Structure 1
Amino acid sequence: MNRVNPAAVHSGDPDTRDIPEFRFSRMEDLLRGRALRHLMVDGVDAVFVRDPVLVRAILVSESKNYGKGELFRKARTLSRVGLFSEDEIMHRHYRRLANPYVRSTQVDEYVPDMREISNGFTSAWRAGESVDIQSEMCRITCSIVVQTLMTGLPSQTSEALSESLSRLAWEMIRKPLYGKAAARAARPGGGKRLSRARREFADLLTVCIAELLDSPETRAGYLSTLLSDSDAQGNSLLTAQEVCEEAVMMLTAATVTTASVMSWALYLVSTDPLVEKMLANDMARGLSGSAVDDHDASGYTRRFLMEVLRLYPPIWISCRQALSDVVLGDHALPAGTNLVFSSYLLHRDPERFADPSRFDPDRWLTITLGNVDASYIPFGIGSKGCIGETFAWRQLEVILESVMQKWTLEIDPDRKVRTAPETTLHPRRLLMTPQPR
């Protein structure tokens, strides 16, 4: 067993001091030429899986042999029922309940609302005044999610929920996954800002749920669906508290990832005038935000976003645990083995992607995504893959177009944008200055 901890280096930047960063380059060195390697990850014995064929086996063909891993503290979610249940039958049931709200035909109907919300926020920016892009992306994505998935609420209620959710999403994005920072946050009194933001949002949601229970004729989209879910005898399957927990997890999951990806997208546009020109041409021809297959790379906007997701997958590391003795490839592993894999590393595998660290949207003109491995999994794959993938694609396209129609974003060339591998893979701090297009 190699007791190597790949995680803890400390930045000299005063804003990031005492924040451990995952050393991707060191991991690449440790895993080079190895399909699997035993490592210490977050103080726990684990097997790191680099081979995308074996990762696909874990997630798809042999998924029944693997359960949710508890290696990282972020995996200890609020909700243990509904969509986030480890029980496969329950998971599938709540996946079916959520599906009508995120399937392609329904998402296409959301696009006008997505556009109106995005335009409302971006129109409020002022030329020459610095914008905290990640905070703004949280506000936009949270407003979209609340107003599309929780329809029928009074406008004041929707606005209050959206703003509260955006504060929670921003704290969730920055939550440490591992190491001393995560340990401190897990202690009583630790992670005060996150706890406060979660409590504030849950309190608002609890009031909303109580009002819906008092007025069963009122419909509020996904929230009402959870409240009305019952067994054959008409008994509610979830308590009001469980509905609240389920909604908190669903809504934060639907926003923290998209906000992080959108932040990277706007940063990358600002660094390359040719990319900006290609995107503007695409939008002028009406090719962005169109209802196409989620992996259709015919339009430049889609290729651009696919490449952003390749280099900066928001869920950058995952863990599964063997439920019984298993054989993974040629490797026999005992029950209880923690298996860790990183989409960040899979997406930068030089055997799958030429010059993997280079940002090149046009690489997707020649790459065909097959069903043989997990070399590109920004939304996961298999039965537990992201149910909101189509919703996320539309949000990304609509927000990108909304920003680019009005603004050119500039970043201080002397300020280095650092990668922060926390709950999501996000820019450490991203302040940009909008100038009229």
Structure 2
Amino acid sequence: MADTLGKDSLVTCPAAVHAQQRPLMQPAFSPARLKEYATVMRDAVVEVTGSWRPGQTIQVEAEAYQIAALAVSKTLVAAPGATQAATVLAKALPDISRGMYARSLVPGEWFAKLPLGVNRRYERQMGIARSQINRVAVHYRNAGIDYEDVLSMVIAMSEKEPDPHQFVYNQALTFLFGGVETTAAALTWTLRLIDQHQDIAARLHSELDEVLDGRLPTHEDIGRLTYTQQVITEALRVFPPAWVGTRKVTKPLQWEEGTIPAGTELLFSPYALHRDPAAFPEPELFDPDRWAPGRVGAAQREGFFAFSAGRRKCIGDEFATNEMTIALAIILTR
């Protein structure tokens, strides 16, 4: 992943750099910014679903990807006159994601050099993404305006970096990649689970009818759609989009089977951890009510890793859940 996102992005940077970057980027996901992003999310869902017709067969994964790509790219780049760049970036992401995934499955550098279609498409779209991000970044710097989007914040941070252009590119691509693939997968699995549990679907429709009464959702509605958010959380437990994660041990770690030396690379699986019956009784059961107010205990909170945990927890966790809430509300009511 570092080959694509660079070694200075929020996801790939070492711990000391992360400790500096994270507080600087956190304001991009403040309550005030999230409220503004909700309109962008709603417009993205309406744009994609507006082409759906009764009786039409769609590929849910592809449509969910388009929703997430539009929402993230237009949140990253919100300046007037830059909407075309956001659209181009959204279209480039699928081939970039497939290329990154293929390279992550095959160790070593030789695979990336093979003249395969997945590699050619990856390189072509990476070039397009770099061109668009660099062009918009120049526009932002020349304008000297804070457009209250993620790119504005990244550009402000980049001025202290040895290579500001590369830094902006790496961070922008990190937000694009991290915010699209996982959210699209989560939305796809959630819709599948709802379809398989019609009793839960009926409760969702009842809540949406009561809260929205046929209108489009706003940011203020997100907090009122409590059962919808329970469904999303439970779907993330059953099918976490990031099914495996890594950590490096920074100091010797004692656990029941011995000592893990500092510097050890660890793998952990949210998919497996979410099926621990000690934290989640009847773990294979899709039960949104386990997240109802008053029922969530310490074991559940500590055993939930859909967005990872600790200092490296996903910075866009609330962004993603808000986007999924808005998407579900529109899809299920229209």
Structure 1 residue 396 corresponds to structure 2 residue 324: yes
- The separation in 1 between residues aligned to 2:99 and 2:327, in whole angstroms, is 21
Superposition pairs of residues 331-410 of structure 1, within 5 angstroms: 331-365=258-292, 367-370=295-298, 374-406=302-334
Secondary structure in structure 1 of the residue aligned to 2:259? strand
Post-superposition offset of 1:125: 1.2
Secondary structure in structure 2 of the residue aligned to 1:229? helix
Post-superposition offset of 1:116: 2.2
Residue in structure 2 matched with residue 244 of structure 1 by the alignment: 169
Which of 109, 112, 120 in structure 1 is aligned with 2:47?
A: 120
Alpha-carbon deviations, 1:321-371, whole Å to 9, x = none? 334443235521233333221100000112222221121112223642427
- Contact 2:39-2:219 at 8 Å conserved across structures: no
Post-superposition offset of 1:307: 0.8
Residue in structure 2 matched with residue 11 of structure 1 by the alignment: none
Instruction: Identify if the C-alpha distance between structure 1 residues 159 and 210 changes in structure 2 by more than 3 Å, giving closer, same or farther.
Output: same
- The separation in 1 between residues aligned to 2:255 and 2:318, in whole angstroms, is 31
Which sections of structure 1, spanning at least 5 residues, go unmatched?
Answer: 1-73, 407-437
TM-score, normalising length: structure 2: 0.85
- The separation in 2 between residues aligned to 1:91 and 1:230, in whole angstroms, is 14
Residue in structure 2 matched with residue 99 of structure 1 by the alignment: 26
Residue in structure 2 matched with residue 147 of structure 1 by the alignment: 74
Q: Which structure shows the higher helix fraction?
A: 2
**Does 1 or 2 have the higher relative contact order (CA < 8 Å, sep 6+)?**
1
Q: Which structure shows the higher strand fraction?
A: 1
Instruction: Identify if the C-alpha distance between structure 1 residues 159 and 244 changes in structure 2 by more than 3 Å, giving closer, same or farther.
Output: same
- Contact 2:9-2:174 at 8 Å conserved across structures: no
Instruction: Identify if the C-alpha distance between structure 1 residues 87 and 291 changes in structure 2 by more than 3 Å, giving closer, same or farther.
Output: farther
Alpha-carbon deviations, 1:101-156, whole Å to 9, x = none? 21223212322332122112101112222212111111111111122232114132
- The separation in 1 between residues aligned to 2:107 and 2:329, in whole angstroms, is 36
Post-superposition offset of 1:372: 9.1
- Contact 2:64-2:187 at 8 Å conserved across structures: yes
- Contact 1:343-1:376 at 8 Å conserved across structures: yes
- Contact 1:258-1:396 at 8 Å conserved across structures: yes
Instruction: Identify if the C-alpha distance between structure 1 residues 107 and 188 changes in structure 2 by more than 3 Å, giving closer, same or farther.
Output: same
Which of 210, 229, 239 in structure 2 is aligned with 1:285?
A: 210
Which sections of structure 2, spanning at least 5 residues, go unmatched?
Answer: none
Paired amino acid for 1:119: V
Which of 136, 144, 148 in structure 1 is aligned with 2:63?
A: 136
- The separation in 1 between residues aligned to 2:316 and 2:149, in whole angstroms, is 15
Post-superposition offset of 1:218: 7.2
Alpha-carbon deviations, 1:382-417, whole Å to 9, x = none? 1110111111111000011111112xxxxxxxxxxx
- The separation in 1 between residues aligned to 2:164 and 2:12, in whole angstroms, is 15
Alpha-carbon deviations, 1:273-317, whole Å to 9, x = none? 2121111111112178765999x9x82211111110001111111
- The separation in 2 between residues aligned to 1:356 and 1:129, in whole angstroms, is 35
Residue in structure 1 matched with residue 93 of structure 2 by the alignment: 165
- Contact 2:70-2:90 at 8 Å conserved across structures: yes
Paired amino acid for 1:118: V
Residue in structure 2 matched with residue 256 of structure 1 by the alignment: 181
Instruction: Identify if the C-alpha distance between structure 1 residues 349 and 89 changes in structure 2 by more than 3 Å, giving closer, same or farther.
Output: same
- The separation in 2 between residues aligned to 1:202 and 1:249, in whole angstroms, is 12
TM-score, normalising length: structure 1: 0.66
Secondary structure in structure 2 of the residue aligned to 1:383? helix
Moved more, 325-334 or 139-148: 325-334
Which of 314, 319, 326 in structure 1 is aligned with 2:241?
A: 314
Post-superposition offset of 1:80: 1.2
Identity %: 24
Paired amino acid for 2:140: L
- The separation in 2 between residues aligned to 1:321 and 1:156, in whole angstroms, is 40
Instruction: Identify if the C-alpha distance between structure 1 residues 108 and 262 changes in structure 2 by more than 3 Å, giving closer, same or farther.
Output: same
Q: CA RMSD in A?
A: 3.0
Paired amino acid for 1:201: A
Post-superposition offset of 1:271: 1.8
Instruction: Identify if the C-alpha distance between structure 1 residues 142 and 272 changes in structure 2 by more than 3 Å, giving closer, same or farther.
Output: same
Instruction: Identify if the C-alpha distance between structure 1 residues 324 and 158 changes in structure 2 by more than 3 Å, giving closer, same or farther.
Output: closer
Alpha-carbon deviations, 1:207-261, whole Å to 9, x = none? 2223334444574732232223267xxx555420221112101221011111110
- Contact 2:33-2:148 at 8 Å conserved across structures: no
Structure 1 residue 327 corresponds to structure 2 residue 249: no
Instruction: Identify if the C-alpha distance between structure 1 residues 124 and 94 changes in structure 2 by more than 3 Å, giving closer, same or farther.
Output: same
Secondary structure in structure 2 of the residue aligned to 1:140? helix
- Contact 1:318-1:341 at 8 Å conserved across structures: yes
Moved more, 96-105 or 263-272: 96-105
Paired amino acid for 1:225: M
What is the aligned residue count?
A: 325
Alpha-carbon deviations, 1:186-227, whole Å to 9, x = none? 441254133333333222222222333444457473223222
Superposition pairs of residues 170-181 of structure 1, within 5 angstroms: 171=98, 175=102, 177-178=104-105, 181=106
